[in-house]
Structure 1
C-alpha cells in the first residue's frame, strides 16, 4: 500500500506520529527527551485519540469549527496539556477538502458557528494569546463580539494571522505547509528529511510560539542558530540542548511540519526507508 492510498484520517495520524518521533528537532519533545509536564506518550496518545475527528473531517459530514472542537475534546484525555491544537487547525481543513485547493474552498465557507466552536475549543487548551488581543479567549464577552460582528472562522484566522503563523496558513493558502512538503520530497525519504525540513523552516521563519513566550529577539536568534546548523557551523544536537535548557519551543513550526508531512505523504513521499 502506498501512502497515496492510505485514507486521509490515517495519513494525518501518521504525520503526527512521524513529527514527534523525529530527532533531533531543536526544542521539541521527541523520542529522546520530554518536557517536565508533557511526554512523548502524551503526543502519541493524542495521535490515537484524534482518529474520530479526522474520520469526521474525511467524511465531510460536520462543520470545520465543530470538528476542531471535537479533536481537542477527544485528545484532552491525558495530563500532558495541549499537544496538537495548532496541528488540528491545519490538518482538519486539509482532510476535509482532500488537498490544499479543497481546503481553501472549505475554509471560505466557514461561518459564525465555526468561529464560535473554534473559540470554545480554544478555551479547552492552554495555548498562549497576545495579552492585548481584542478577541480574548478568556473573556466571555468574546463570543458575543464574534456573533455580533458575524465573524467567520476565516475572519478569526485573518484577525490572528499577523501574530500567529498557524492562522496565517489559512490566509496564505497553506504557503509554509506546501513549502515544507516540497522540501521533504526534495530531500528524500525518512527521518533525516523530516529533521532537515524542520530546520529549514525554522531558519527562514520566526516561530510565533517562541515570540509569544520569549519575544521577537529570541525567535530571530533561534532562526540564526538554525541557519548555523544547516551551514554546518554547529550541530542540531547542540541547538536542541540549548533550546531545552532555555525552555524555547518552536511549537508553531512543529505544527506546520505536521501539515507538510500530511501533504507530502499524499504525494508519494516515503517515510519508510
Structure 2
C-alpha cells in the first residue's frame, strides 16, 4: 500500500474523529476544553503525517517477520509525540499515535485488511525493550498516565528504563500488563478487536447510509456503550465508567444520532458529561483507529 495514502489516512482519521459532533464529553467542532481547543486537535492530526508516512515506509521495507523489530515502533511513537509538542501545548493525541503507528507499519506491508490486522499483532509481538523505553519517553513527554502507577517499571520512575533493558521487556509485554486496566493497551495486545470487529464495520456501513459525521458519532457511542472508558475509570473508578456506558447504551436504544429523540438525548448527555468533567478519551482514540481502518479498506478494494 502506498505510504503517502497511509499517512493521509492517519491524518484524516485523526481530524474526522475530533470533528464528530456531538461526541459526549469530548472536544468537538462546537466545544472546547479549558486547556485544549478544537484547533489543537486539528493541528495534532495534521502534523503526525510525516512520521506516519515514514512508519509506513518502514513497514514496507521490513516486511519479513524476522525484521519487524527493525521498524522501531516505540521510536516512531516518540517522534510523533515530539512533533505534536512543537505545535500544541497539551497531550492531544498520544493514544491515537499509539494505535495508528502500528496500523501504518502494518498497512505498509499488507494487501488486505485481514493482513493488516495480523501484521499489527506480529509487529507488536516483535517489538524490543528499546521500543518500550521509547514508549515510556513518549508517555512522559505527553505528560500522560495511561499505564497506571506501579511499584516496579513505573513510567514516572527514572530507574525503569534501565530495568526494562536489563530484563528485556518489550512493548507487547509491558502493554499486556497494563491491559488489565487500560483498554488501549488491551487493544494493542489482542489484535485490535474493538477497532476491527466493532468500530470499522459500523463506520463503513453507517457512512454509506448516513454520512461521515453520523458514522463517527455512532462508532464513538457504540464503543462507549460496550467498553467502559478506561480514562474515566482511572480518574473516577470503574463504577462511574460503567454508568457512563449504560447511559450511552440508553441513547443508542433511542436511535442515537440517527433519530431525533436520540440526538436530543445525545446533546443533553454531552452537556452532563462536560459539566462533570467526564472525558471518554480512550473511546475517542479507538474511534480514530476505526476510521483509519475503514479508509485503508477503501484503498484496498
TM-score by length of 2: 0.84
Which runs of structure 1 show a deviation greater than 4 angstroms over 4 or more consecutive aligned residues? none
Residue 69, structure 1, aligned to residue 78, structure 2:
yes
For CA contacts below 8 A with separation 6 or more, give which structure has more relative contact order.
1
Number of corresponding residues: 267
Alignment of 1:35-114 (within 5 A): 35-60=33-58, 62-98=71-107, 99-114=116-131
Structure 1 residue 79, shift from structure 2 partner: 4.6
Contact 2:3 2:54 in 1 (8 A): no
Deviates more, 1:119-128 or 1:34-43: 119-128
TM-score by length of 1: 0.93
Alignment of 1:169-188 (within 5 A): 169-178=187-196, 179-188=198-207
Q: Within 2, Cα distance between the matches of 1:47 and 1:162? A: 29
Structure 1 gap segments, 5+ residues each: none
Structure 1 residue 102, shift from structure 2 partner: 1.7
Q: What secondary structure is seen at the aligned counterpart in 2 of 1:147?
A: helix
Q: Within 1, Cα distance between the matches of 2:151 and 2:91? A: 20
Deviation per CA, 1:130-149: give whole Å up to 9, x if none: 23453211110111221121
Q: What secondary structure is seen at the aligned counterpart in 1 of 2:154?
A: coil
Q: Within 2, Cα distance between the matches of 1:229 and 1:133? A: 40
Q: Within 1, Cα distance between the matches of 2:38 and 2:57? A: 29
Deviation per CA, 1:166-185: give whole Å up to 9, x if none: 11111110000112001112
Relative distance call for 1:140 and 1:6 in structure 2 (3 A) is closer
Q: What secondary structure is seen at the aligned counterpart in 2 of 1:101?
A: helix
Q: Within 2, Cα distance between the matches of 1:9 and 1:33? A: 27
Residue 118, structure 1, aligned to residue 142, structure 2:
no
Q: What secondary structure is seen at the aligned counterpart in 2 of 1:266?
A: helix
Matching residue within 237, 240, 252 for 1:218: 240
Q: Within 1, Cα distance between the matches of 2:117 and 2:80? A: 20
Structure 1 residue 227, shift from structure 2 partner: 0.9
Q: What secondary structure is seen at the aligned counterpart in 1 of 2:142?
A: coil
Relative distance call for 1:28 and 1:197 in structure 2 (3 A) is same
Q: Within 1, Cα distance between the matches of 2:164 and 2:26? A: 34
RMSD of the TM alignment (CA)? 1.9
Deviates more, 1:16-25 or 1:133-142: 133-142
Q: Within 1, Cα distance between the matches of 2:287 and 2:166? A: 35
Alignment of 1:110-259 (within 5 A): 110-128=127-145, 129-132=147-150, 134-178=152-196, 179-188=198-207, 189-232=211-254, 235-259=265-289
Deviation per CA, 1:79-102: give whole Å up to 9, x if none: 541011011111000100112222
